[in-house]
Structures are given as structure tokens and as C-alpha cells.
Amino acid sequence: MLKTIKLETANNKTPKHRPLALFLILIFLLLGGAYVYFSWQKITTLSLSKSELEKEKVTLSDVKIGLEKEMVNIGSELKDLKSQDQYVINKKLEDEIKNINSTYKQAVATYEKLVDLRDNKVKTTTLDDLFAKTLSLLKDRNYASAGATLVSLDKKIKEEEAKLVASFKIPENVPAFNAPPSSGFRRQTVTLDIGTFLVDIVTADLNSTRVIVDTATDGDCRNDCPVLSLGEYAARSGAYAGVNGSYFCPATYPSCADKKNSFDTLAMNKNKKYINSDNNVYSNVPAVIFSGTSARFVGQSSQWGRDTGVDAVLANQPLLVSGGQVAFGGGSDPKQGSRGSRSFVGSTGSTAYIGVVHNATVAEVARVLQAIGIANALNLDSGGSTALWAGGYKVGPGRGIPNALLFVRK
């Protein structure tokens, strides 16, 4: 064997398969070494990771304990703070402010109801005394007793309001008509399935009558605004008929202390001046526009531009009748749901109407006007502002008002 190998070496004759075998052995050794190396690395890494996780677990546990201790400390400090005089004083002050706000709002609302009763010629002496007692209790900071007194006063006011409604009687010999007059003024009764109503109404042909809005000022007014009586508006504009205009904030209302006699809705007066134009660009308050021999009623003021070629623009709410159909069946405003004398403006074709429906809710007014054939109608201010002029007062005179809608001859 040795001899043979030696002879083969001497003759430089190497077998063909030896290089391939050596190469395969080398690859096997390299792969084996790599496997051993990476396995060792994995074991080492896992060992280290486990160790680190254990350390992390200990660290998180320490943090949790620390946070719990800190929370206990903060809770203790807060408890101490709450027991300090300044905190107690601030809490008492906060509660007192809340009581003042709540009772003040209640007192204002009650007082304004008293004002409305006086406007309806109701004697309020006893109620005024009870309100004075409330003010005395508020002065002494006795909010609980003041609140209870206001509740009692509200109850008595409601009783007086009910008496006022019950005392309303339609005068004798008032003719019954379920249609408006063909022209001029008429007092009439209208009977529906919901009751019989007294209506004062003026009819005008727009071929011979121009409808205008007169305002006490030519510009926007936010407080201490000028007002005139309906009779004064009629006299200075040469009107043969007129009605009170849009809602406004009466100076006698405490809630109107910083906006006395102001109104917020859109109007264009006889001088072609738009009032409250900027703050009604996106307004959803309905409006009526008179132009020539026609009237247009829009569901929102934002649907109308600022055209000065028309005769009059007046916004108020709600829209009562639209296209011959009742447009208002009731709302969330308790004042609109109470009975009273309520002013309106309406039209059918080239005929315009202004008037007052007595002892009715706003929803009932809509029913009445639709029943007598008025195609479109808009609610106007009511209560102490209600007034109707036709050669003299037919209803009113009511309080001073910042605007009025008038009929003048062409």
C-alpha cells in the first residue's frame, strides 16, 4: 500500500475524486462550526434576555410601589388643603355665586311676568309686596327662602293669568265672518272647531296702498334705543292704518338692562335704510317683503338680499301661514303658548292685511288666519306692545315701540 502510494506520488498521478472530497469535508466543518457558534450565541442571548427581564420586572415593581406611595402622599396633601381656611372660603364663595345666579334669574323672570300683568291692567299690589319680600330675603342672602317665595309668587301669577284669560268676553253684537273684509277695518268673530275668536283686521288693496316700515332710528341701535307710539308713527308717515312691528327688548324688563328697546331682526325702513343687516346675513328668522302690488314671505331672512328697490322689509317669527297652509303648530316658547292679543301681517295676492287676534295662542292665530283665507301671514310682537291703528286706535296704544308697519295711500 505504501509502495503503491509512493509510486503514485512519484508519478504525480492524483485520483480525480480527492479534491471534491476535501471540499465537501471543508464545507461540513464550516457549517458545523457555524451551527455551534450561533447556538451558543442564542443560548447566551436568551440567558441575558431572561436576566434583563428579571431586572426590568424588579424595576417596574419598584416604580409601581413608588407611584402608589406618591398617590397616598398627594391624597393626604389634598385633604390637608381642603381643610385650610382659604379653600373653605373659596368653596363657600363658589356656592354663593351659584345661588345668586340661580335666584337672580328666577327673580328676573318673575318680575317680567309682573310687568306683563300690569300691561294687561291687572292690579298687582299684593304680588308686588310678595316680590319686595323676595328682594329683602335676597339682600339677607337667604337664598332658600327667596327661592321658595318666588315659587309661591309664580303660582299666584299663573292664577292671575288664568283669571285674565277666563275674564275675556267677546263683546255683544260683533258680526261673525269667516272671511276678511274686502277693504278697510272690521271687528269680527271667527268660529273654528277649537273655539270662537275676536279679530280686529284691516284690509288694503296694494294697487292703491303702499306698505312701509317706519323705525325710530335710521341705524342699528344696541341700547337705550328711541321708541315712538304707533299713533306717532302713523301721524309722521301720513298712514291711514298701522300695526306694531317686530319683537324687541322693553326697557321695563330687567333682562334688557344692557339692550333697552333694541331689536335684533332685519328691517328696511321707508328711507331705504336696512337695520341690523350685518347680524342677519345667515338669519333663519322669517321675513315679509312688500314691493309694488305684491308681497313675498320667506322662511329665513338669509333668503333675502339687500335690495332697496322694494317698499318694505320686516323680519319676525314665526311664519304663521304659507301658501294657504298652517305653518306653525306650536313651539317650545311658553309665551307663544299662552293666550293674549296677538298682532299679525298677511297677504293674499295683491291684498294685504294687518290685525290682532284676541285671547289666542300663536298656534291658534295661525289656524284663524288660515281659516279666513289669508294665504301667507307672519306673527308680530304682542303683549304690552300690541297695537292696531285705523284712523285711531282700535287696539292699544300699548308701549313705545322701535318700529311699526304702516299702510299709506299711493
pLDDT digits (tens, 9 = 90+) for 216-255: 999 999 999 999 999 999 999 999 999 999 999 999 998 9
Query: Could you read off the pLDDT of 350-399 as tens digits, one per residue?
Result: 999 999 999 999 999 999 999 999 999 999 999 999 999 999 999 999 99
| Peptide bond just before 397 cis, omega within 30 deg | yes
Select from 220, 315, 223 the least CA-distant residue to 275: 220
Q: What is the pLDDT of residue 103?
A: 79
CA 23 from chain centre, in angstroms, equals 92
Tally Cβ neighbours within 10 Å of residue 363. Answer: 17
- Residue 67, pLDDT > 60, answer no
Give the β-pairing of 403-409 and 209-215. antiparallel
Q: What is the pLDDT of residue 62?
A: 56
Three-state secondary structure call for residue 249: coil
Q: Of 106-115, 126-135, 369-378, where does the model show the most confidence?
A: 369-378
Cell readout for 342 is: 296677538
Sorted by where each begins, the domain ranges of the chain are 24-81, 85-167, 184-409
The count of other CB atoms within 10 Å of the CB of residue 225 is 20
Would you state the pLDDT for residue 96? 66
Q: Which of 67-76, 77-86, 164-173 has the lowest mean pLDDT?
A: 67-76
Sheet holding 195-205, edge to edge: 184-192, 195-205, 351-360, 340-348, 376-382, 319-322, 325-326
The whole-number average pLDDT for the span 68-93 is 60
Instruction: Pick the most confident of 3-17, 99-113, 219-233.
Output: 219-233
Per-residue pLDDT band for 83 (boundaries 50, 70, 90) equals: low
Q: How confident is the model at residue 279 (pLDDT cuts 50, 70, 90)?
A: confident
For the cut 80, the answer to whether the pLDDT of residue 322 exceeds it is yes
Phi, psi of 4 (to 5 degrees): -65, -45
**Res 32 pLDDT > 60:** no
Give the separation between CA 198 and CA 253, rounded to whole angstroms: 29
What confidence score (pLDDT) does residue 405 get? 98
- The closest alpha carbon to 176, from 163, 187, 164, 160, belongs to 187
Maximum CA extent, the chain? 158
Number of C-alpha atoms within 13 angstroms, CB side, residue 217? 16
Where residue 100 falls among pLDDT bands split at 50, 70, 90?
confident
User: Which phi and psi (to 5°) does residue 262 adopt?
Assistant: -90, 155
What's the confidence (pLDDT) of residue 76? 65
Average pLDDT over residues 119-141: 88
- Of the pLDDT bands very low, low, confident and very high (cuts 50, 70, 90), residue 61 is low
Which is more confidently placed, 166 or 4? 166
Whether 254 and 260 have beta carbons less than 8 Å apart is answered as: no
Among 34-43, 179-188, 344-353, the minimum mean pLDDT is found in 34-43
Q: Quote the pLDDT of residue 106.
A: 86
The pTM score is 0.75
What is residue 119's predicted lDDT score, i.e. its pLDDT?
A: 86
Least confidently predicted of 77-81, 125-129, 281-285, 289-293: 77-81
pLDDT band of residue 271 (cuts 50, 70, 90) is: very high
Q: What 8-state DSSP symbol labels residue 218? A: S
- In this predicted structure, the answer to whether residue 47 has a pLDDT above a threshold of 50 is no
Helices 85-119 and 18-82: crossing angle in degrees, nearest 10, is 70
Q: Count Cβ neighbours within 10 Å for each residue of 371-402 and write b for 16 or more, e otherwise.
A: bbebbbbbbbbbbbbbbbbbeeebbbbbbbbb
Mean pLDDT of all residues in 290-298: 97
The more confident residue out of 151 and 26 is: 151
Residue 189 half-sphere exposure toward CB, CA atoms < 13 A: 13
Report the DSSP pairing between strands 184-192 and 340-348. unpaired
Contact 380, 244 (CB under 8 A): yes
Query: What average pLDDT is seen over the chain?
Result: 84
Quick one: pLDDT at residue 73? 56
